[in-house]
A = this chain, B = another copy of it.
Amino acid sequence: MELGLIGLGKMGGNMRERIRRAGHTVVGYDRNPDVSDVESLEALVAALPSPKVVWVMVPAGDPTRETVKALKELLGDGDVIVDGGNSRWTDDKLNAELLSDKGIGFVDCGVSGGVWGLENGYALMAGGDPKNIKVVQPVFDALKPEGEFGWVHAGKVGAGHFSKMVHNGIEYAIMQSYAEGWELLRAVDEVENVTEVFRSWREGTVIRSWLLDLLVAALDDDDALSQIAGYAEDSGEGRWTVEAGIDNAVATPAITAALYARFVSRQDDSPAMKAVAAMRNQFGGHATRTSAPPGGDQG
């Protein structure tokens, strides 16, 4: 089939390549003319047969929203827009409603795979009406891994990004789980070879996983992770997962712990702990540390 693909960054570019390898035609558009196949959204839409399918792979929020609005002007009844970006799931319903009066279908699709996706395939979680899913199905089949898993029609509009969001929330907590174990193993003298312990877990244990494999790979590069700072960004999905939990009165203590550990990792000095230290000083005459000048030793 023929597909329009908007957004040809690292992720979108690799996806174009994988879809083409599967024998489909991809018309790609990007603001960067060096990677773009066409000069404009109009040219992209004009190049596609009906029903036209356009996959949007641009940053979440305003860029995605603006792209969907622009496409609404160019597409018509029976066409389908797929949002494959990292949109918040609550945006999906708004986009679907925006498009409905022109009869344009909307599918949201969470995409996992990262730098391995081109070769190994992308895990895909889609939401939307079955008739729209069906139109896009050849693209899903091209992108997904070869095995029997990695692709799901999760439910209604929003279900794709919701599932991907929860996937990432789980990912945060699993990473935190291994990280706590690593710190603890390194804390006692008896365990002399922490990397080998982690490596041994790759087979025959309850906790074997791909993330464990990745951690061992990282430890093989740098046994003590001395070249990596204890600093982790968060990308939105972790926050949204915790907030979705709160909205639904679902406790997510492990996922939340993982998110908060990242927040704290980015602080040079914790304001909350300043307050704790100040209170201790007031009631007990506990020694407090004077804030060192920037760069000073605080540990």
A contacts, CB < 8 Å to B: 10, 89, 112-117, 120-125, 127, 144-145, 147-159, 162-163, 166-171, 173-193, 196-197, 199-212, 214-215, 217-219, 222, 225-234, 239, 241-286, 288-292, 294-299
Q: Say how far A131's CB is from chain B's closest CB, in angstroms.
A: 15
- Which residue of B has the minimal Cβ distance to A269? B230
- In Å, the complex CA distance between A124 and B277 comes to 25
Contact of A177 among B120, B163, B177, B202 (CB under 8 A): B177
Q: How far is the CB of A135 from chain B (nearest CB, A)?
A: 19
- Asked if B175 and A279 make an inter-chain contact with CB atoms under 8 angstroms apart, the answer reads yes
Docked Cα-Cα span, A171 to B180, in Å, equals 11
Q: Which residue of the partner chain, among B158, B205, B229, B241, contacts A298 with CB atoms under 8 Å?
A: B229
Contact: A225 with B184, CB < 8 Å? no
A253 contacts B261, CB within 8 Å? Answer: yes
Q: Which residue of B lies closest to A185 (CB)?
A: B166
Q: By CB atoms of chain B within 10 A, which of A234, A269, A290 has the most?
A: A269
With A159-B191, A178-B275 as known contacts, state yes or no: A204 contacts B145, CB within 8 Å. yes
**Chain B nearest CB: distance from A166 CB in Å?**
5
Residues of B within 8 A of A209 (CB): 174, 207-212
Residue of B nearest to A152 (CB): B200
Q: Bound complex: CA of A196 vs CA of B123, how far in Å?
A: 13
Instruction: A178-B275, A242-B246 are known; give 6 further A-B pairs, CB within 8 A.
Output: A153-B196, A168-B206, A180-B245, A183-B271, A225-B271, A264-B264
Contacts of A289 in B (CB 8 A): 228-229, 231
User: Which residue of A150, A151, A176, A227 has the most chain B CB atoms within 10 A of its CB atom?
Assistant: A176
Alpha-carbon distance A270/B228, docked complex (angstroms)? 10
With A144-B204, A268-B299 as known contacts, state yes or no: A179 contacts B276, CB within 8 Å.
Answer: yes
**Complex A-B: 5 CB contacts under 8 Å:** A156-B189, A175-B280, A229-B290, A242-B246, A251-B261
Query: Smallest CB–CB gap between A115 and chain B, Å?
Result: 5
Residue of B nearest to A161 (CB): B190
Q: Separation in Å of the A31 CB from the closest CB of chain B?
A: 21
The complex places the Cα of A85 from the Cα of B200 at a distance, in Å, of: 18
- Residue pair B180, A250 in contact (C-beta under 8 Å): yes
Set of chain B residues within 8 Å of A222, measured between Cβ atoms: 278
Residue pair A182, B251 in contact (C-beta under 8 Å) = no
